[in-house]
Chains A and B, each alone.
Chain A
Amino acid sequence: MAPRTDAPVLGARRAATTTLRLDDELDARGRLVVVGNGMAGARLVEEVLERGGGEQFRITVFGDEPHGNYNRIMLSPVLAGESHEDDIVLNSHDWYADNDIDLRAGVRVERIDTAAKQVHAADGSVTPYDHLVLATGSHSFIPPMAGVRRKDGELLPGVYGFRTIDETRAMLEATGRCRRAVVMGGGLLGLESARALQGHGLQVELVHAMPWLMNAQLDAEAGAILKKSVESLGISVHLDVLATEVLGAERVEGVLLGDGRRLDCDLLVVAAGVRPHADVAVRSGLEVQRAIVVDDQLRTDDPDVYAIGECAQHRGEVYGLVAPAWEHAKVLADVLTGTDPQAEYHGSRTATKLKVAGVDVAVMGVSTPQRDDDEFLVISEPKRGVHLSVVIRDDKLVGATLLGDTRKVAFLTQAFDRGAPLPEERIRLLVDLSDGAAEVGVAEMPHDSQVCNCNGVSKGDICGAVTAGCGSVGAVMDRTRAGKGCGSCKSLVKQIVEWAADGDLAEDPAASWYVPGIPMPKPELVRAIREHDLRSVSAVFAALAPDGRDDAKSKMGLTSLLKMIWGTDYLPEKDAEFINDRVHANIQRDGTFSVVPQMKGGVTTPAQLRRIADVAEKYEVPMVKVTGGQRIDLLGVRKEDLPALWADLGMPSGYAYGKSMRTVKTCVGSDFCRFGLGDSTQLGIDLETRFQGIESPAKMKLAVVGCPRNCAEAYVKDVGVVAVGNGKWEVYVGGAAGATVRKGDLLATVDSPEAVIELAGRFMQYYRENANWLERTYDFVPRVGLERIRTVLLEDGEGIVADLDAGMQRSIDAYTDPWGQDAATPATPGQFRPSLPLVELPKVPVR
């Protein structure tokens, strides 16, 4: 069992599960002990098991971190908030138990007694071994700066390295209260953490001691272009300067640079390189230079002790990437299990493809010419942030650097790895010349060229998986692990799978279904629902789901669809609704709800404001907030208070919780603004009145502005309307400024408010009928194509405009204010009953 700590253990075991162990004496298997449960250590264990090593060895794994094994290279997306930490677990504690491996998670090894062949750990345990593998990786290097550590040797609060999930969690947690970050180090980790922190809204400055960014991988020119791309994200970059002192007594307040400048910050990330974790080896008398020295069989100078991954030094090289670590694991597993006792590792040619701070980077070999007769070809487009170069020696590719455009990486990697012949016209290495000459496609790739660098998967492995019966890209990825590291090779993997299957590929069928539980795409589903006259979600499951089984994750989508199809004739079922729709409010992290009353077009009155104020006091609403949608949110309302609060408010629901039409934001427009060209406020109110509460596959947010200055952000709304003078209005669709930012496409310019309302209604109905569940208009419009939408809506190219209008009208007629209705009589018994009885609310606060 993992030790209990305050923070949750990643990939933790189920509580109260125990593992039976055979009595040691009865077990004749050899003892394999692995120190370090990171990328290399855990992979070694997997490789050993794959070779039947479970029969040969009793395996013990020591890991300093309390967690199961996780994908360290995915910490950047976790820090950026793009991946959830649960998604990066590679092997959970259960996996170790299931494979009969004794995982000592959270236990640090202190020293090895190589004479007695015993491992001494910090918990006092002594573990004998027959074979010992050191896979202790590296730690962040903290340069000696005045003030960076407290007296007790700990880092000054607010200073973080970036290596482990615990550091990542700590930084994520700090982003909430910090405003200004300084990142030390302009390499991969520094850039990634800078971008992530910037994405959390911190003001970020990056300090790099070298004259250009990623100096270890890029040449000066490419580094300069990368700097521009990084700066365009809003990150300030200071080059060629050292941070000499960390300021702050209790916690970090700033850093002092070598040139005397002072940068204020409340968070400091030190990403100034890593140092191999070799202390255990040193203490145990093993040979350590820059890292633990190993031979071609990954053996240290003690015949039963091996080292792999970042802590190993082989032929003078120490690698800082996973691919070599995984090659080490393969060779060592061959040696240990006797699968190939002669197996040897001869070094890695590292070709890396990364996304650094949002910029694609691929590097292999040397970055600049080193001999007089080296050929050097450079294409530089600083404006686009693109810089491509190759170095050729004796007709062979010895290096390539691709920044901002990595389309040619597949071919270059092959040429680099295999010495494949190069095209006569060297420029073809970097760009596709459009004379019709076919690009080097997957067909011509040699069988053994590596596709997934992270997991060492070749084209041959992928083809093998297809031959062995994997019928979809997902199945191939599961089988070979291709694409499961950093993910940058996924599109290539897909191409190869498609090529290998030669059209015989099961397109993942579920991908086209409207909801996962019913095997039908939307048009077919709609037809079946109409044909069988299915008016409730349970009727749909009974008639159309395999074995009539219901599916929790399909219910919300089906409810929305049925409401759209049937209007008032839909048979409501509360259990098919998401909690927000069941109680007409948005659930919060502590189980309370938020209440957003309708405030059409963002216009309110003193009387409304007075009522909102009274209600807030009466129900002890912890926070009253102006939303980004131009209305007022009452946050932290107890579920049981909802009906009475609505009744006291006497305002209709603003539908801030639904997959539905939300708000219509407006600007003041011609009534007050000196630039106003149209009455945007009134048009906004009219739109909101007409389309209030309309259900849709995903949220629909609208805005109307009185002139192209666009004060209510109409260009980035699902439907945005802009007055352009002379009574004319532009209607934009498919805009977004949420997780995706996209300027809407101009659908049409019309000449009256009535025409705007009509066209907006047609567009929304077309979207409601044809969009996939949860597909916002910013995806829908480009998918369908603006031309097609124009043909359908403006020229009635499919003859459906009358149907669209009628469909929308049916939904408008079905509108009732849910608050007015359920406040008077609950829809079901206990509709507003608390779901966490006895818990004092709010449990989590509202700031």
Chain B
Amino acid sequence: MTAAHVETARPTTPGTELGTPATEVSTPGPAAPVRGKEHVVGRVADIPSGEGRAFVAGGVQVAVFRMRDGSLHATQAACPHAGGPLADGQTDVDVLVCPLHLYAYRWSDGASTSGAAPVRVYPVREQDGAFVVTV
């Protein structure tokens, strides 16, 4: 960026922090493997049918999806491609589609349908009206 450009590269609103340049955000990639600890992350009423919501399970950000047929899925919350918020994605019986660049990830193994890095999937079940995720 030339000097003149930097001058204008300030937040317009006073008091706002400037983030890190986009170029310095490294590709998040897949999350760490599952270690096997169970966490209760939320209740059934927290996730409308067909949608996803994000939670923190033992320090790990997870996105939990409740499908229209009642089945559950959980994945890492940030897209391995460029950190997109996967809980904001759209779903069907086979895949989860990230809202940012529309990469699709298979529920079965987290693999991307386009050959990009896979998303980590976590075991999730419902117990007494609550979601239990194993991370």
Is A15 at the interface (CB under 8 A from chain B)?
yes
Given contact pairs A552-B91, A591-B88, A835 touches B54 in the complex (Cβ within 8 A): yes
Task: Name the CB-closest residue of A to B77.
Answer: A836
User: Which residues B20-58 have CB closer than 8 A to chain A?
Assistant: 20-23, 25-27, 29-30, 33, 45-56
Q: Please, how many angstroms separate the alpha-carbon atoms of A623 and B18 in the complex?
A: 10
Q: How far is the CA of A517 from the CA of B95 in the complex (A)?
A: 13
Whether a CB of chain A sits under 8 angstroms from the CB of B63 is yes
Q: Mark A6-50, 1 if CB is under 8 A from B, else 0.
A: 101001101110000000000000000000000000000000000
C-alpha spacing A828/B66, complex, angstroms: 14
19 pairs from A and B in contact (CB 8 Å cutoff): A6-B26, A8-B27, A8-B29, A86-B115, A86-B116, A177-B1, A177-B2, A549-B93, A550-B92, A552-B91, A575-B90, A589-B82, A591-B83, A617-B15, A622-B19, A623-B13, A835-B52, A835-B77, A837-B54
The answer to whether B16 has its CB under 8 Å from any CB of chain A is: yes
- The reply to whether the CB of A236 lies closer than 8 angstroms to some CB of chain B is no
Task: Name A791-847 residues within 8 Å CB distance of B.
Answer: 828-830, 833-839, 842-847
Q: Are A16 and B33 in contact (CB under 8 A)?
A: yes
Q: A266-B2, A550-B93, A828-B48 are in contact. Are A621 and B68 (CB under 8 A)?
A: no
**A residues touching B (Cβ–Cβ < 8 Å)?**
6, 8, 11-12, 14-16, 86, 89, 92, 94, 173, 176-177, 179, 266, 517, 538, 549-553, 555-556, 573-576, 578-579, 582, 587, 589-591, 616-617, 620-625, 828-830, 833-839, 842-847
Give the one of B13, B78, B97 with max A CB within 10 A.
B13
From A89, A177, A829, give the contact of B5 (CB < 8 A). A177
Chain B residues with a Cβ under 8 A of chain A:
1-2, 5, 9, 11-23, 25-27, 29-30, 33, 45-56, 61, 63, 68, 77-78, 82-93, 95-97, 99-100, 102, 104, 111, 114-118
Question: How near does chain B come to A624, taking the closest CB pair, in angstroms?
Answer: 4
Q: How far is the CA of A556 from the CA of B11 in the complex (A)?
A: 34
List residues of chain A with CB within 8 A of the CB of B9: 847
Chain B residues lying within 8 Å of A830, measured Cβ to Cβ, are 46-48, 53
Docked complex Cα distance between A6 and B48 (Å): 38
Q: Which residues of B contact A846 (CB under 8 A)?
A: 11, 18-19
B13 and A574: CB pair below 8 A?
no
Given A625-B12, A828-B51, A587 and B88 touching (CB < 8 A)?
A: yes
Decide if B13 touches A843 in the complex (CB within 8 Å): no
Expressed in whole angstroms, the Cα–Cα distance for A622 and B16 within the complex equals 6
Query: Which residue of chain A has the shortest Cβ distance to B103 in the bound complex?
Result: A86
A837 to B41, CA, bound (A): 12
User: Of A582, A589, A616, A838, which contacts B56 at CB under 8 A?
Assistant: A838
Which of B19, B68, B95, B96 has the most CB atoms of chain A within a 10 A radius of its CB?
A: B19
Inter-chain contacts of B29 with A (CB < 8 A): 8, 15
User: Cβ of B97: which chain A residues have Cβ within 8 Å of it?
Assistant: 552-553
A837 and B20: CB pair below 8 A?
A: no
Residues of A within 8 A of B1 (CB): 176-177
Given the known interface contacts A587-B99, A590-B19, A828-B48, the answer about A833 and B53 at a Cβ–Cβ threshold of 8 Å is: yes
Among A14, A550, A620, contact of B68 (Cβ-Cβ < 8 Å)? A550
Residues A620 and B13 in contact, CB atoms below 8 Å apart = yes
Contacts of A617 in B (CB 8 A): 13-15
**A556–B61 CB distance below 8 A:** no
Beyond A550-B68, A552-B90, A575-B51, whether A842 also contacts B19 by CB under 8 A is yes
Point out the residues of chain A lying under 8 angstroms from B13, CB to CB.
616-617, 620-624
CB <8 Å contact, A11 and B115? yes
Neighbour of A843 across the interface among B11, B12, B19, B33, CB < 8 A: B19
Contact of A549 among B23, B84, B92, B118 (CB under 8 A): B92
Q: A589-B82, A828-B48 are in contact. Are A579 and B16 (CB under 8 A)?
A: no
Residue in chain B with minimal CB distance to A93: B115
